[in-house]
Amino acid sequence: MLEELSDDEIELRATEFYEHDLRATLEATHPNAFVAIEPVSRTYYIGNTLSEAGRQARLAYPDRLSFAVRVGHEAAIHIGGFGA
């Protein structure tokens, strides 16, 4: 049976995996790329865009949610402008 995770658990597991296992390598090899992480299998997909990384994750695991981050950034995307 497929393990069902809450949105918070998906984020927590994916973030921990990224921080402990992926960050150092990906920041050296794929700066500014996007990575979609499927936290149950601990597989990840790298893309030049958020859509590209997410599409790869959906193709591999169509019934699971993944969590995306932008390599070397605090968030996958930034919305809005800089302070006035």
Residue 57 lies in a domain: yes
Buried b (16+ CB within 10 A) or exposed e, 39-62: bbeeebbbbeebeebbebbbeebe
CB proximity list for 36: less than 8 A, separation 6 or greater: 44, 45, 47, 53, 54, 56, 57, 66, 67, 68
Residue 82 lies in a domain: no
Q: Binning pLDDT at 50, 70 and 90, where does residue 33 land?
A: very high
Residue 83 lies in a domain: no
pTM, entire model = 0.85
Residue 79 lies in a domain: no
Q: Quick: pLDDT tens for 43-58.
A: 999 999 999 999 999 9
What range defines the domain where residue 23 resides?
7-70
Residue 81 lies in a domain: no
Residue 77 lies in a domain: no
Q: Binning pLDDT at 50, 70 and 90, where does residue 14 land?
A: very high
Q: Is the pLDDT of residue 74 over 80?
A: no
Residue 75 lies in a domain: no
Tally of domains in the chain? 1
